[in-house]
Structure 1
Amino acid sequence: MDLVIQPGMTFYQISNIFNIPLQLIILSNPYKNPNTLRVGEVVNIPGHFLEKYTIQPGDTLWRISQEHQTSLEQIYAINDVDLYQLRIGDTIFIPKRIEEDILTFNELYTFDRFEEDLFKLVTTYPYITLKEIGQSVMNKPIYEVVIGNGDKHVHVNGSFHANESITTSVIMRFLHDYLLSLSANQPIRGVDMKQFFNEITLSLVPMVNPDGVDLLNKGLPENEYYRELVVDINKGRTNFNNWKANIRGVDLNNQYPANWEIEKNRKRQQPSPRDYPGRAPLTEPEAIAMAELVGREDFDRVLALHTQGKVIYWGYEGLEPENAQKIVNEYSRVSGYTPIRYVDSHAGFKDWFIQDYRKPGYTVELGRGTNPLPFSHFNKIYEETLGIFLTN
């Protein structure tokens, strides 16, 4: 929502009028100097929208404020007119706090709808940062969302595997609920989200493998080369439910230099819907983008969301730090998922993070069933995972 600065207005005053933390006002207007606001400047008020209202016979500003559940101060702040000279038929604007869902979660994401929802959130809550950290094989952006201003730096990703895209929905739902709670000054499961915001900088990459997700949830690519390629890799089958790989048939979670050679020798030796580690580590643009992101940022821990099994893998070759077990025990308590320290698997994102950075890394297998899990499982999976998000 745009607000035009009137004489004497400050960010502190705006924060009080709209009951929004001052920090969120400042972060939503990164190119404004809070100390030198000029009359006529436009600033963004996060989590609000404007509703037109036409003055009716018998209206008073107090009556309008009561009927619309807003304050006189907010009405004065948003309308740069003489409100005492209003006539029947004049139009004013009523500021409204967004308190209802602005996204819908009733089906699996395609990339286009995912991108549209991201842009909607960034426009409504401009204190979050949206970055393009790389591109897929088919040149779709790989997006990172950053929210928070804390010293603890936590990363969460989803949809490394194409047929596990319900993980994208889980991450997007948490981001959506987090933003709504900040706007409404409401906790989530008793957690003060303003405090959460001030303590944790959260990095989210909800869709690591957009080409693969679209293959499952949208259908064959329009691009003739890749359409023929995936049909060939899939042995002519038109059912892609078993497809985990990127569009070139490389399993992105077998792409990391953590005993990659072991996986290379015992898994598929050519492009496949699943379990082909590639011709070398980090050949695929999606895997490279994630590795470069980790290299740029000083993450304190990472979580990779997958499906299925209701387990949390948390160790790798004895290289995990001492505090990793305490963290996973709390994840287990709030989710009901079973912690598993070691498994005969290598070359995964979590494995590589633990190996190279000696920090806590987790692969969280959401839900239970056969991939791709039906979207009817979504609400239950989200409730199980929510506690893990909030534990950070």
Structure 2
Amino acid sequence: MEILVRKGDTFWYYSQLFDIPLALIIDSNLNMDINKLKPGQAIRIPGFTATIRTIQKGDTLWKLAAAQDMDADALLLLNPHINPNELQIGQKVRIPVRVTELIVNGKQPYDFQQMRRDMHRLLTIYPFMKRKEAGKSVLGLPLYDLRIGRGDRKIQINASFHANEWITTPILMQFLNEYLLSLTNQLTIKEVRALPVYMETQLSAVPMVDPDGVNLVLNGPQPEVEEKVVAINKGGYDFSGWKANIRGVDLNKQFPANWEYEATRKPKAPSSRDFPGDQPLSEPETKAMADLVRKESFERLIALHTQGKEFYWGYEGLEPPESEGLAKRFSRVSGYKAVRYVDSHSGFKDWFIQEFRKPGFTIELGEGENPLPLSQFDEIYEDVSKLLIHSLL
């Protein structure tokens, strides 16, 4: 919601008037000098939308404010040209409305376009969340990197490395939505106070690492790639089992952590799954993710996959001692089984642990056969959202 500065207004006053933490208002307006606000400047207030109300008989500004459980000055701030003592029937006024419900509906086929629509709505209501681009996919779609928090500790969470594991994207997007909602309403999220997490930790979330592949699984092939992907798919038009990127490379077999060994036991040509490419980091998506973690010095990494109701937290004995304690906590809060080692190499988590000697986790959401049905969404979210908020502590 946008308002215009009046003479004498301060961010602190807005914080009190709308009951929004001061840090969130400051971070929603980073281009402003908070000590030199000028009348007429546009200020974004997070956690609110504005609706239009037509004045009815008996309406007063104070009644309208009471109906929204806020001070009448909040309405005056949104309607600087009205005379509060002379409201006219039929007059239009702007009413601030606090957002108290989730926007993201994850229980639907969730392609890149749906993710981008939800992302835009979240950025509009919660402008203290920032959007960057980690890179682009083969077909030029952005790999969005959403940032929440102002702390020095940086945590990276990603989803949809594998195309037919797309349910991980709405799980992560709904978690981001719940976290943002908890911040502006000063609530806990899974019994964890949200604002101290925001102040101490910066979350980097890449909700869809393989947008081309996700769109292929959900929507079928685009004309410009149809011939190639159908050939890779052995002539079939059922892409529900497709894990790879649009070039038939498994993005989670692309990292230089014993890649040469893994390549000897995987497909030798583009495939719907498991082909590690002709060399490590050959794909724009994996280059982008590798560049992101090299640049940002993340303290830990969480990669969301499906399925198994378990997670993997070690790699070749290179994981730091703190990983074990985190694994025990994650298992306790989520109910997922903690597995130290599996016979697998060249994954993003493997390379992160090897390269930086910091905690990395591959979380296998849900149970069954990929792609998991949306009927599992609520159960998965209940378990994994607890793990995700604890990953930021």
TM over 0.5, yes or no? yes
Partners of 1:373 and 1:103 in 2: CA distance: 19
Normalising by structure 1, what TM-score? 0.97
8 Å contact 2:270–2:277 — kept in the other structure?
A: yes
Q: Which residue number in structure 1 is paired with residue 46 of structure 2? A: 46
Cα distance in 1, alignment partners of residues 54 and 171 from structure 2: 41
Structure 2: 5+ residue stretches without partners: none
**Residue in 1 aligned with 2:141?**
140
Native 8 Å contact 2:161 2:210 kept in 1: yes
| Residue aligning to 1:186 | 187
- Please tell me the residue identity of whatever aligns with 1:283: S
Q: Distance in 1 between matches of 2:58 and 2:263?
A: 78
Identity among equivalent pairs (%):
48
Alpha-carbon deviation of 1:74?
1.2
| Counterpart contact for 1:70–1:95, Cα < 8 Å | no
Question: Helix, strand or coil: the match of 1:170?
Answer: helix
Alpha-carbon distance in structure 1 between the residues aligned to 2:124 and 2:58: 36
Deviation at 1:219, TM superposition (A): 1.2
Mapped partners of 2:199, 2:338: distance in 1: 29
Q: Which residue of 1 aligns with 2:77?
A: 77
Deviation at 1:156, TM superposition (A): 0.5
What is the Cα deviation at residue 73 of structure 1? 2.5
Q: Which moved more, 1:378-387 or 1:235-244?
A: 235-244
Once the two structures are TM-superposed, the CA of residue 123 in structure 1 deviates from its matched residue by 1.4
Cα deviation for residue 184 of structure 1 reads 1.5
Note if contact 1:108-1:169 (Cα within 8 Å) is conserved in structure 2: no
Q: Name the residue aligned to 1:201.
A: 202
TM (norm. structure 2) is: 0.97
Q: Give runs of ≥4 in structure 1 deviating > 6 Å.
A: none
Match of 1:20 in 2: 20
Partner of 1:292 in structure 2? 291
Q: 1:23 is paired with a residue of what secondary structure? A: helix
Counterpart of 2:248 in structure 1 is: 249
Note the C-alpha offset of 1:147: 0.3
C-alpha deviation, 1:132, in angstroms: 1.2
**Partner SS, residue 114 of structure 2:** helix
2:334·2:386 contact (CA, 8 Å) conserved in 1?
Answer: yes
Provide the residue aligned with 1:167 in structure 2.
Answer: 168
| Distance (whole Å) between structure 2 residues aligned to residue 279 and residue 65 of structure 1 | 64
* Counterpart-to-counterpart distance in 2, 1:64 and 1:100: 21
Cα deviation 1:199-255 (Å, max 9, x = unaligned): 2111100100001101111111232xx111110001101112221110100000000
The AA in structure 2 aligned to 1:343 is: V
Q: Quick one: distance in 2 between partners of 1:260 and 1:46?
A: 45
1:155 matched to which residue of 2? 156
Residue type at the aligned position of 1:25: I
Larger deviation, residues 150-159 vs 365-374: 150-159
Structure 2: distance between partners of 1:365 and 1:254: 16
Distance 2:159 2:223 in 1: 24
Quick one: distance in 2 between partners of 1:60 and 1:251?
62
Matched-pair contact (CA < 8 Å) for 2:104–2:173: no
Q: Does the CA-based 8 Å contact 2:74-2:96 persist in structure 1?
A: yes
Deviation at residue 305 of structure 1 after TM alignment: 0.6
Partner of 2:314: 315
2: distance between equivalents of 1:125 and 1:271? 41
Q: Deviations over 1:139-173 (max 9, x none)?
A: 11111101011222111001000110100011001
Pairwise CA distance, 1:49: 1.1
Equivalence for 1:33: 33
User: 1:64: Cα distance to partner?
Assistant: 2.0
Structure 1 counterpart of 2:48, one-letter code: H
What residue identity is the alignment partner of 1:286?
A: E
User: Is residue 2:25 matched to residue 1:5?
Assistant: no
User: Is the Cα–Cα contact under 8 Å of residues 182 and 189 in structure 2 kept in the other structure?
Assistant: yes
How much has 1:100 moved relative to structure 2?
Answer: 1.8
